[in-house]
Every structure is written in C-alpha cells, then in structure tokens.
Structure 1
Amino acid sequence: MHVPCLLTALLCCWPLVGLAEPFSAGLIAERDCPAGISTKHQENPGQVRLVPGETYRVVARNRAEPTHYQVRIESARPRERWVEVACGRLAPAVTDTPRGPDAASAPVSAPTRTGGMDQQFVLAASWQPAFCEQRQGRPECRGQTPTRADARQFSLHGLWPQPIGRAYCGVERPQREHSESGDWQRLPTPDLKPVTRGALEQRMPGTLSALERHEWLKHGTCYGADADTYFRHSLALLDQLNASDVRTLFEASIGRRLRAEQVRDAFDRAFGPGTGERVRLECDPAGQITELRIGLKGVITDQSTLGDLIRAAPTRTLGCRGGWVDRAGPGR
C-alpha cells in the first residue's frame, strides 16, 4: 500500500479524539445516554451510560458548535467518553477532585451553587448525648460532659441528597465496601480548607471516628460540589438550626421529655409556619430523641436561608411521637 493510501486509511478508522477541541465545563446529565469512545462509531467498552443528575467533567468538544462533548468518567476504561450534547446541560467549569492518600475519590468538583429548584435534601442533625448513650467507648463519646458544646446543641450527621438511595456517586467499589462496613479509617480524607476542617471538627464530633470520610463518599459525592463546599454548606445550615428556638427548646429540656408537636411548633416559630411539618424525629429503643431529619428543597448557596429551604420541601412523616432529651454521660 502506498503511503498516501495508508494515511487515508488510518484517518478514516481513527476515532475523533485527535480532532477534539479542548473545552472545560461541567455536564449535568439529564438523560440516560451511552458514553462511547468515538463520535462516529458505537464502540462502548463496558456499556457505560450517564447517570441523570450526576455532574461530569467536560474535557473537549468535537467542534466550536458541538454535537458531542468528551467527558471524563472515572469508573470507565478508557475514562474519556463521548456523549451527545442533548444528554445534559452545561454547568460552570469544574476540576477533578485531588487524588491520593489525603483526598477522596469523587467524580468532579463543582461550583458553590448546588442543586436545582426541584432538588431535595435531608439535613440530619444529631443530639450527641443520646447517640453516645450506648457508645461510651467511641472516641467522640469518651469524656463528653454536660459543659461540652456537643452536649447542648445539635451536631452534624450529614446533608443527604434525595432520594436516599442516591449515594456513592462515582465511588469505586473498594472504598464503598470500606464505607458500608464501617471501616472508615481506611477511607481517604476529604480535601478541605483548614478553616472548614476546624469548623467541622467542632460541630461534627464524629470526625474522631472518621465520620466525615463516610459522609463525603456516601452522600457528598452526589451533592454536585467539592468536599469543602459540601461541608461548608452543611455547617452553615446547622449553625442556623443551633441559633434558633429549636436548639433553645432542646437545651432547656435536657433530662425531660419532649413531644413531637413541641418540636414542630418550635420550628414554626423559628423558621415560619408549616416548617415543623417538614421535620422527622428519630428516637432510639430507649425512647431518647437521637436526631432531627429536616427536609429541604431548592438551590443551596453560601447565602441560603434554612427556613426558605424547609418551607419549599414536601411534608415528612412524624417519626417517633416524642422522647427524652438526653444529658451527657450515662443515664438520663
């Protein structure tokens, strides 16, 4: 075969990766689209498809007015895949989550504006003394006293994108297995700024047991933002709860029982009528209130108001009908 003919044959068979135009953005998947290795052919090793709602890093487009974007899918081999532009909508530029022993595995980092108007979440706020009642040997429970901050206010459990089954987005199987088994110390540490890390250690006592690693992998990777933004938003919402009449009610009721209606009424006073109906109480078998699970809906930003997010959410079932507000240390 002559050289010109050989070159022609190679160009005809070569996937269009070589003709890609570098392009940086995020693609929020809206359709269950195949992700192939070429724009012209149907090769799709592993039969990889986009997951609606997930955000993928766009690394290239096939031309200035594209018909296809090349996205990076960490679980695919090869990772770079082509999808049609109609498969989703563009978001601001994103970057890969840092990898290595000190960084969590996640599909992308994203802007500080998270969720669409219809996106729902649950803010899980724990009453730490009740959590520790049967777990006195855990690092975060040893030495808890009535004067410690986590004995008098709510602690962060997590911020969970809904539905609850939406979890471990882009997380590889070994890390998921460690997370699900409770072997959290073997999980990578989320990449956080020092100020965020310090605030998290104060308001999430479970960091002493690596809870933040588990929460990031299970829920944060589905949040559409980097780890620092995820925890910064979570803490900002928790702080609004702890600055409200709800926390005041719980602190004043330590050692006594609270009815669910009292808790919901406190939410109505603090965050507006109807917000109490968006809150579910969790109690342990001993009848102690262990957690509030607060429904949220809408776009979360650094300036979000907790009351607005709660009011937009659907109503929630009551959960337990009330329980004891535990004090720090063994016994009520």
Structure 2
Amino acid sequence: MHKHILLIVLAILCCSSTVRSEEEYCQQKIDELFVAGQRCPAYASIRNGKMVNPDDLVLEAGRKYGAHELLSLDRDFDPQEQWVYVHVPERYPTQYRNRWVRRMCGSLQKFPYDNNGQKTGRWDKFVLSLSWLPGQCMKYSEYKRPECIYSIPLDYSATNFVFQEFRPEDSDNKAYNFCGTQKDNLEKYSKCKFPEVACVSCGFDKFNDVIPSIYWKSCMERSAWYKHGTCTFWTPEQYFTIAANLVRQFNKSGISGFMQKNIGTEIDSNSLMNEIKNHYGEEAGQHISLQCEKIDEELLLIGLEIYLPGHIEIGDNLKELIEEAPNKPKKETHCKGKIKISAF
C-alpha cells in the first residue's frame, strides 16, 4: 500500500510540469521502443475521449515502434488508462506519422545499442545487398560454401540475383551491427557459429530460392540476422519476408532475363546499369551500385547494392521504394568497362 502511494507521488512530481488539463492529466517525454503485443488501433487523436483513426491504421503484433510520449489519463496511473505516442512509417502524410496506442497493447523497452555504441532506430536508410552467386563463389571459392560446390546451371541462384544482407545505415553511411547480441567466438566466415534464428513461424523453406544458404545449410541467413536484422524493429519473419519479396521483385522486373542472356560472357557495365534504369527509372543509377571483383585478370560481377528508404513494410513496391530512397554515397566503383557475368 505504502509502495503504491509512493509510486503515485513520484509520478505526480515527474509529470507536474507537463499537466495540460483534467483529461490530459500526466504527459511525459520518453525515448523508448514500443513492442506491440497484438494488433492495436493507432489513433491520430484521442482528445476529449474521441478516438480518431482516419485510415484504420493498426500496429502489427511483434513489430517495434519508436515511442516518444507516455500519457496517463487516470490520477491513480492505472496502466489501462495510459497511452503511448509512437512513430509510424514516414510515407504516411506528416500529420499521421505519430499515433496514440493503448499502453496495455504492448510493452515499452529500452533501445538496444550495436557493438559500436550506436543507438538503434536512428537510421535513415536500408541497403539491400544482392549477390550474383556464380561470381561471388569465384571470390570466396577457398571457403567451399555448399551452394558454390553443388549448385548447377539450372538452379534459381545460378540465373538470378540472391540475398546477401539487408542492413540499416545512418546518415553517415555507417551500418548498424550486432544490436543486443554478442559476436564473441564468431569467426568471420564460419556463419554456422551463430545460433539458429529463433523464428518458429518463419517456414524458412519458402525462402530457399532467394536465400540459398537456407537450403544448403551454410547459415548465411544467421549471419544476416544477428549482424543486421537484430538492429531493425522487425521480427525475424518480417525481416526475411521483406528482404525476400524485394529480391524477387528485382529479378521479376526483367533483370533476370537480361542476366540469363549474358551468362558466361563479358558485357559493358553500362549496359547492365542501363537495363536497370529501363525498369526502375533514370534516377535508379543514384540508388543502385554494381559490385565487382578482379580475379585472375578478369573483372567479375559479384553483386549489387540497392539503397532504400528508412521505413519499409511487407508488400512494398520496390520501384516506389527506389524512387523514395536517399542517394547512394559517392564512392568510386570497381565496375567500369567490361565485366564478366560468371556461370556455374
């Protein structure tokens, strides 16, 4: 009883400077994560007891959102009468980017930090890194990855780009790595030293085409999740579903057809970039970088990187995301002139 009274007194003292009215009894600034425990209505306004949700927006269960304010409408600070002000994706109109959700709909957590001491949630873009596996295998042939040893020319991964990694970056182009997890005893190329990704409902088999390491059990997906996925606000299922969807969209746009026509040959790097621009617009060159490596005097295509906005949802259209994305950093590319499209 005494403890309960003390908590109320402390809360009143904490909030006394932010009291606005009898209804908005206590409103305080916070800087935390709100983890939705279920699908929750997200209101643009809750003023005077009127719940306004103009587009029927709901928070997705398991998804994390930045939380900026905590509002208590009850003098006893009953959690059922508390609301959290959360940030939603930037593509919503400005007036709808922040929403009120009931505190009981989820839980508040501290922001995790990455291994460089960066606080998560401060990124302004994502970078989707795709691999041209036949070329990548030439670069990493000494590591004997199963997908490099056993893949055949008819495999999806032999004729399409596949997933490499999906990372959030800040405005200084610094990637977020290993958030809330340790990388002790994890050797650079021993991906299977990472624990299995805890995702009971993922059904990882559905990603076999664009993430061949899952099928071949070389554990690249573990590395991607623990290195970068843990720094996002997504669950493992959301992280891999979004990434796989974007990779498939890129291939289905017509890019894979162009690649298949040129497998085993040398092409001008500009012809590949022009093909990408044909499907994703002239400005795509500002958001996509080719990745090459010189091996045995040949310049091999090993993959590419696509720069995307800092807010992405399941089912988003890749072309629209590229149009909204910040420009890639200005750095010299190794993919100049003739490049080899390797084959298995």
Q: Same fold (TM over 0.5)?
A: yes
Correspondences of 1:226-245 after superposition (within 5 Å): 226-245=235-254
SS in 2 for 1:233: helix
Q: Aligned pair 1:295/2:302, yes or no?
A: no
Question: Which residue is 1:203 aligned to?
Answer: 210
Q: How far apart in 1 are the matches of 2:4 and 2:324?
A: 57
Q: How far apart in 2 are the matches of 1:232 and 1:296?
A: 16
Unpaired stretches in structure 2, ≥5 consecutive residues: 12-30, 35-62, 88-97, 113-119
SS in 2 for 1:221: helix
From 115, 124, 130, the counterpart of 1:125: 130
SS in 2 for 1:203: coil
Question: Which residue is 2:343 aligned to?
Answer: 327
- TM-score for both structures, normalised by structure 2: 0.62
Q: How far apart in 1 are the matches of 2:160 and 2:179?
A: 34
Q: For residues 294 and 57 of structure 1, do their structure 2 counterparts lie closer, same or farther at Cα, with a shift above 3 Å needed?
A: closer
1:161·1:219 contact (CA, 8 Å) conserved in 2?
A: yes
Per the TM alignment, residue 119 of structure 1 is displaced from its structure 2 partner at its CA by: 3.3
Per the TM alignment, residue 55 of structure 1 is displaced from its structure 2 partner at its CA by: 5.3
Q: How far apart in 2 are the matches of 1:186 and 1:311?
A: 38
Per the TM alignment, residue 236 of structure 1 is displaced from its structure 2 partner at its CA by: 0.5
Q: For residues 8 and 311 of structure 1, do their structure 2 counterparts lie closer, same or farther at Cα, with a shift above 3 Å needed?
A: closer
1:179·1:214 contact (CA, 8 Å) conserved in 2?
A: no
Q: How far apart in 2 are the matches of 1:243 and 1:57?
A: 34
SS in 2 for 1:243: helix
2:292·2:301 contact (CA, 8 Å) conserved in 1?
A: yes
Unpaired stretches in structure 1, ≥5 consecutive residues: 1-6, 18-25, 30-53, 71-84, 98-105, 108-114
Q: For residues 8 and 299 of structure 1, do their structure 2 counterparts lie closer, same or farther at Cα, with a shift above 3 Å needed?
A: closer
Letter paired with 1:120: K
Q: How far apart in 2 are the matches of 1:310 and 1:143?
A: 34
RMSD: 4.3
Per the TM alignment, residue 95 of structure 1 is displaced from its structure 2 partner at its CA by: 6.8
SS in 1 for 2:327: coil
- TM-score for both structures, normalised by structure 1: 0.64
1:246·1:266 contact (CA, 8 Å) conserved in 2?
A: yes
Indicate the percent of aligned positions where both proteins have the same amino acid.
Answer: 22
2:128·2:307 contact (CA, 8 Å) conserved in 1?
A: yes
Q: How far apart in 2 are the matches of 1:12 and 1:138?
A: 60
Per the TM alignment, residue 121 of structure 1 is displaced from its structure 2 partner at its CA by: 1.2
Please list the CA deviations of residues 206-257 of structure 1 after superposition, one character each: whole Å capped at 9, or x if unmatched: 3322111111111111221111001000000001011022221111111112
SS in 2 for 1:189: coil
Please list the CA deviations of residues 59-101 of structure 1 after superposition, one character each: whole Å capped at 9, or x if unmatched: xx694479x9x9xxxxxxxxxxxxxx8998778655799xxxx
What is the count of residue pairs matched by the alignment?
259
Question: Which residue is 2:141 aligned to?
Answer: 135
